[in-house]
Amino acid sequence: MYCLLRPCFQTGLRLTSKIRLTYVCIFIGLIALLDFFGAFTHLFEITYDSNFVYPYEGDVHDFVNALRHNEEPAVEPINEYKYTFLLNNQQKCVDTAYSTFRLIYVVKSSIENFERRSAIRNSWGFEKRFFDVPLRTIFMLGVHPYDDELQAKVKIEAAKYRDIIQADFIDSYYNNTIKTIMGFKWLVKYCPNSKFYMFVDDDIYVSVKNVLRFIRNPVNYPDYLKEPKKIGAHKREIKDSDKMDNDTTTQISTFDKKSLFVYEKLGKKEYLVDQIIHKLKQNSYNRTLHTIPPINYSKQNSVNLKFPQKENIDSTFTMNRTKRQIFDFELPDDVRLFAGFVFVSSPHRHKSSKWYISLSEYPYHLWPPYITAGAYILSKEALLDMYYTSLYTKHFKFDDIFLGIVAKKADIEPFHCEEFHFHKKDYTRFNYKYVITSHGYGNPNELLYVWNEQKAFGNA
């Protein structure tokens, strides 16, 4: 009897073993899949808000101040980018006609993108866009070390246009941090005589006109540019010329009604400047997990202009004069402005991602607030503080994250503006009126077409 049942028993054991093996394989596969997508990594992340430190793990302000004053810091820098400038147009910011410049464009360009650079020179990078506003444009490049023909073409381009800065790091996506900080280094050494600096990728549309408007009044951009269309006893309407705004009530940020009349009567710009600097320095941004939306002053810091009936006669003069005064002022030289489209997001932990980051590289569950690297503006003070702080910040391969970390260590709050479009904003001739930048213009002909059309409309 046993002999008869033995084959069946052995068959059952084999079947049970196969079933167990199948479940084991499925379990191992599921674990591997969860690990691949970072499910377990998230369990070991450190909470960002209360625990963030990043090498150098200490206060760097004294070291930064020492370096800024050409003094010996107590601790040597931990992260110097010791690359050599192969093409170095040292005289780019030397001009007998101007002791200082308004704005320097630094275009982070891939070495092979000759046509994109040409399109930029013939559009928003044209240095004489406004005859009374001194601007400069430079292109920051790395190298392709084994392509002598390409390098020869770059040398010819550099000799012709004198706007190429090239250092001997490999020009690749993951070296954008090096490209950025080498741009900082060159500016600090050879071009410290500008009030503002704008870093831009070579596939971005830029409105020079709107950049200049923004750096005059960043807190209130673009609201302060909107023209009154109708004057009534109880409200003022905004001209809807771009077919985009439906609001009919003008609001002036940072003013109450009494302050507005005091300001207009005295004709002083200092009051408004103080208010704007206060807004630039305060940490009152309404953050979400993914983005920081534009600052909303409509409830707490703005009022609808509802003039009494007897003042209607003078209201047109009041508003026009106030508008001119709001536009016609300068931010102080010591303002630290780091502006663009601000994000707050989490590290990518799934290993298939182009932006995958391991816990050893960055252990926290959130990034510091950072600005998308395609386009951002720095004041001179922000540039200097961030450059010297970067020397005490461990290298990170993503440039926008690196600058976010640097800004946090330097106590500079990134300033959000919705008109820096990190994606390609859908284009019509009417909806780019207040656009500062728009990403995704890798086609040089398209860039030239859009920019020239917007220039014809007075928007570029």
Higher-confidence position of 322 and 455: 455
Nearest CA to 189 out of 92, 76, 74 is that of 92
Tokens of 432: 């780019």
Backbone dihedral angles phi then psi of residue 18, each to the nearest 5 degrees: -65, -40
Tokens of 136: 């400069």
User: What three-state secondary structure class fits 210?
Assistant: helix
Tokens of 413: 């709050």
Question: For all residues of the chain together, what is the average pLDDT?
Answer: 80
Q: Can you give the pLDDT at residue 323?
A: 43
Q: Can you give the pLDDT at residue 313?
A: 34
> In the predicted model, what is the mean pLDDT of residues 410-436?
96
- The third-level CATH classification (topology) of the domain covering 61-215+340-345+373-456 is Spore Coat Polysaccharide Biosynthesis Protein SpsA; Chain A (3.90.550)
Query: Residue 15: pLDDT band by 50, 70, 90 thresholds?
Result: low
* Positions of E strands within 8-100: 85-87
Look at residue 243 and tell me whether its pLDDT is greater than 60: no
Look at residue 244 and tell me whether its pLDDT is greater than 50: no
What percent of the chain lies above the pLDDT cut of 70? Answer: 71
User: What three-state secondary structure class fits 416?
Assistant: strand
DSSP type of residue 425: P
Tokens 């071009």 sit at which residue?
191
How many Cβ atoms from other residues are within 10 Å of residue 34's Cβ?
12
Look up residue 213 and give its amino acid.
R
What are the residue boundaries of the structural domains of the chain, listed by start?
Answer: 61-215+340-345+373-456, 219-327
Look at residue 253 and tell me whether its pLDDT is greater than 70: no
Look at residue 11 and tell me whether its pLDDT is greater than 70: no
221 alpha carbon, distance to own chain's centre = 16
Strand pairing report for 85-87 and 164-170: antiparallel
What gap in Å lies between CA 145 and CA 33, rounded to an integer?
Answer: 39
DSSP states of 221-283: TTGGGPPEEEE-SS-EEE--TTS-----S-EEET--HHHHHHHHHHT-SHHHHHHHHHHHH--
Nearest CA to 456 out of 430, 418, 435 is that of 430
> In the predicted model, what is the mean pLDDT of residues 156-185?
97
How many Cβ atoms from other residues are within 10 Å of residue 335's Cβ?
20
Look up residue 249 and give its amino acid.
T
User: What three-state secondary structure class fits 349?
Assistant: coil
419 alpha carbon, distance to own chain's centre = 11
What does the pLDDT look like over 53-106, one tens digit per residue?
Answer: 999 999 999 999 999 999 999 999 999 999 999 999 999 999 888 889 999 999
Look up residue 118 and give its amino acid.
S
The three-point CA angle 380-371-409 to 5° equals: 65
* pTM: predicted TM-score of the whole model, two decimal places: 0.76
How many Cβ atoms from other residues are within 10 Å of residue 212's Cβ?
16
Tokens of 34: 């969860």
What gap in Å lies between CA 228 and CA 319, rounded to an integer?
Answer: 8
Tokens 């690196």 sit at which residue?
402
Tokens 């054991």 sit at which residue?
13
Q: Can you give the pLDDT at residue 27?
A: 63
Q: Annotate 117-178 with three-state secondary structure.
A: HHHHHCCCCCCCCCCCCCEEEEEEEEECCCCHHHHHHHHHHHHHHCCEEEEEEECCHHHHHH
User: What three-state secondary structure class fits 182?
Assistant: helix
What does the pLDDT look like over 345-370, one tens digit per residue?
Answer: 999 988 888 889 999 999 999 999 99
Nearest CA to 198 out of 361, 379, 332 is that of 379
